[in-house]
Amino acid sequence: MAVIKTEDLTYVYGEGTPFRKVAVDHVSLSVEEGEFIGVIGHTGSGKSTLIQHLNGLLKPTEGRVLIDGEELWADKARLQAIRFKVGLVFQYPEYQLFEETCYKDIAYGPKNMGLPENEIDRRVRETARLVGLSDDVLDKSPFELSGGQKRRVAIAGVMAMEPKVLILDEPASGLDPKGRSRILGLIREYHKEKKNTVMLVSHSMEDVAKHCSKILVMNKAKVFCYDTPAAVFGRAGELERIGLSVPQITRVFARLKAMGCRVDDDVYTVGYGREMLLGALSKQTANERESEA
Amino acid sequence: MLKDITIGQYFPGNSPIHRMDSRVKLVLTIAYIVLLFMADNIYGLLIGIAFTLLMYTISRIPPVMMLKSLKPIIPIILITSALNLFFIRSGEVLVKWKFITITREGVDTAVFMTVRIICLIVGTSLLTYTTSPIDLTDALERLLSPLKKLRVPVHELAMMMTIALRFIPTLIEETDKIMAAQKARGAQMETGSIMKRAKALVPVLIPLFVSSFRRAEELALAMECRCYHGGEGRTRMKQLKTSAVDYIAIAVMAVFIAGVVVVNHLTKGA
Ligand SMILES: Nc1ncnc2c1ncn2[C@@H]1O[C@H](COP(=O)(O)OP(=O)(O)OP(=O)(O)O)[C@@H](O)[C@H]1O
Ligand SMILES: [Mg+2]
């Protein structure tokens, strides 16, 4: 059964005012358990609005959202419980830190879930280890940390709730390249270890290409496509037309193929590209040797 | 929720009223209030109503906005009319039932007061509908600038007001965001006892304060970098200028005030 399902989900900001704006337009999708979904789209395409529906922060103007087969908003009293199933990390989550110590801040979510003290402690320590925060950082005030550290504390705060689905809105934005790959790495690590469903919103095709099982491309409030990375990047021309670029390495290979090299053009990670190139090269040398002999 | 609070109810537009000098608009609004208080009977107020309707028509503000401006003062209107209706005991008695007496004078006064309050609110709302808050503070600063001689920091006050107005929407947006983030972590802000809900606000208020301070610091730095050093010797990018529209508006106002004076006189003679 799909862990997340939306049916004709539509959301309109400022209904009945001159500033009316359809931010999500008849979006229907389903996410299976254990998947790693990448969500991409131009700025303003409705990604953030869409994901805020998935744990009941926004109420759909039209359509339905089902989590584990249970309809959100059918019973308002159940909303809280469903929110614990779908953890949402907002963009720039470090702005939500407020406790005296990082430990307490990470414990805020689990505490709201009403967990016993020892379970909270286990979860805080485990997620802190997962995101790479040492014990002495846990006792510091979150306001003393560096930007990247703050970000990791904030993400840990949601991970510690151990949601079935973890959704992150541009978790790497505003960080330097090292910080970026570190955050993305720890999310991948989390997915591997917990086998939970993860949804990652990002601007960067490269980030999404590397470890997603499926990619959702949003364009102007609508779903442009929702498919495997290979299928999505196969439509490079269309993607470019809506202002999104495929990963650089994919473009390199498309160009190589156009120039007559015998390579596939569904390459979207550098690692796979290297294998492909080496394979093609060794085949070529073998051929040359044959023709010499 | 929070988004529904409108602060600065400015309705952008390009009508003659929108184009008026904000200082003149402010002064004429005061004149309009004077007009309403000069009228000493319902016929004088009819002139006030006519003026209000005329201005709304010219400004092309949707008429529903008139009703909207009245919404918050409905209790005041009800209380005022009730007080006048039941507690004025002089004049011809219309109804007498147990301890309730309603007299003709009571009815007249109640109607008069209600119409006056409605005119007052609807008319003055037009000022905020057609003038952006920034223009309004500008006008206030200019009109109050004589007070500088008395060492009132007029410029600084106006600057503070401008900055505050500028940041209100930003703060609301930020509050919304932080509230959503904490709700996602299980904060209960809509259910539970008052104490519980008040406690749930702490995780919202602390980040909000932190970011406000950060923002204030950044803004101060940015202002200093651009050599801001208070109001002294500062010139303006947007000069306030009076033009033909303003003179016409002043003349129209004068005519209506004269009308009220005449009506007052006529009804007194009768
Ligand atoms: N609180 C709001 N009030 C009114 N309109 C909004 C609000 N939030 C977003 N919008 C509008 O809805 C549309 C979708 O916004 P959304 O934030 O979902 O886009 P996004 O895909 O997340 O963009 P980005 O990549 O920049 O984060 C935008 O056009 C935006 O202007
Ligand atoms: Mg966004």
Contact with chain B for residue A93, Cβ under 8 A: yes
Residues of B in contact with A157 (CB under 8 A): 185
Write out pLDDT tens, residues B240-256. 888 899 999 999 999 99
Helix axes A177-194, A117-130, angle to 10 degrees: 130
Q: Do the domain assignments include residue A282?
A: yes
Give the pLDDT score at A112.
92
Instruction: Say if residue A77 is in the same domain as residue A206.
Output: yes
Instruction: Give the residue carrying structure tokens 């918050």.
Output: B72
Residues A186 and A269 in one domain: no
Q: Which of A186, A213, A235 is the last residue of a domain?
A: A235
Beta strand residue intervals within chain B, DSSP E: 93-97, 100-103
Q: Are residues A155 and A252 in the same domain?
A: no
Give exposure, A220-234, as e/b (b: 16+ Cβ within 10 Å).
Answer: ebebbebeebeebbb
Say whether both A189 and A117 belong to one domain: yes
Q: Which of A112, A115, A162, A166 should we substitute to test contact with B (largest number of B Cβ atoms within 10 Å)?
A: A112
Look at residue A242 and tell me if it is in a domain: no
Q: For residue A93, how far is its CA from the centre of ligand 2 (angstroms)?
A: 12
| Residue B72, SS3 per DSSP | helix
One domain, residues A62 and A178: yes
A79 touching B (Cβ < 8 Å): no
Shortest distance, CA A10 to any CA of chain B (angstroms): 19
pLDDT, averaged in runs of 10, over chain A (293 residues): 92 83 94 94 92 93 92 87 92 91 95 94 94 92 91 94 94 88 90 92 83 91 91 84 83 83 77 83 84 77
**Terminal Cα-to-Cα distance of chain B (whole angstroms):** 55
User: Out of B4-13, B21-30, B58-67, B229-238, which region has the weakest mean confidence (pLDDT)?
Assistant: B4-13
Quote the mean pLDDT of chain B. 87
Q: Binning pLDDT at 50, 70 and 90, where does residue B229 land? A: confident
For residue A86, give how far its alpha carbon lies from the nearest alpha carbon of chain B (Å).
8
ipTM of model: 0.85
Q: Which of residues 192-221 of B touch A (CB under 8 A)?
A: 202-203, 206-207, 210-211
Task: Give me A185's structure tokens.
Answer: 């790495």
**Tally of structural domains, chain A:** 2
Total beta-carbon pairs less than 8 A apart between chain A and chain B: 54
pLDDT digits (tens, 9 = 90+) for B114-139: 999 999 999 999 998 898 888 888 89
A191 and A52 share a domain? yes
Tell whether A185 and A291 lie within a shared domain. no
Judge if A50 and A163 occupy the same domain. Answer: yes
Residues A154, A123 share a domain: yes
**CATH number of the domain residue A172 falls in:** 3.40.50.300
Note whether residue A217 is domain-resident.
yes
Considering only CB atoms, which chain B residues are within 8 Å of A80?
186, 188
Could you tell me which residues are beta bridge partners of residue A66?
A5, A71
**The pair of three-digit structure tokens given for residue A70, joined into one six-digit string:** 């249970």
Determine, for residues A96 and B186 on separate chains, whether the beta-carbon distance falls below 8 Å.
no
pLDDT of residue A30: 93
State pTM to two decimals: 0.77
Helix axes of B133-144 and B154-184: crossing angle, nearest 10 degrees:
150
Which protein residues touch ligand 1 with a CB less than 6 Å away? A 13-14, 21, 23, 41, 43-49
Q: Is residue A241 part of a domain?
A: no
A249 vs A271: CA distance, rounded Å: 10
Size of chain B, expressed as the number of residues it contains: 270
One-character DSSP codes across A29-88:
EEE-TT-EEEEEE-TTSSHHHHHHHTTTSS--SEEEEEETTEETTSSGGGHHHHHHHEEE
CA distance B57 to B252: 14
A201 located within any domain: yes
Last residue of a domain, which of A212, A235, A258? A235
**How do the domains of chain B map onto residue ranges?**
1-131+241-270, 160-230
Domain of residue A47: give its range.
Answer: 2-235
Cα-based torsion angle of the residue sequence A281, A283, A286, A288 in order, rounded to the nearest 10 degrees: -70
Instruction: Say whether both A131 and A191 belong to one domain.
Output: yes
Annotate A169-232 with three-state secondary structure: ECCCCCCCHHHHHHHHHHHHHHHHHHCCEEEEECCCHHHHHHHCCEEEEEECCEEEEEECHHHH
Is the same domain home to A61 and A114? yes
Residue B183 contacts A where some CB pair is shorter than 8 Å: yes
Is the Cβ–Cβ distance between A31 and A37 less than 8 Å? yes
* pLDDT over 80 (residue B265): yes
Measured CA to CA, the distance from residue A64 to residue A9 in angstroms comes to 6
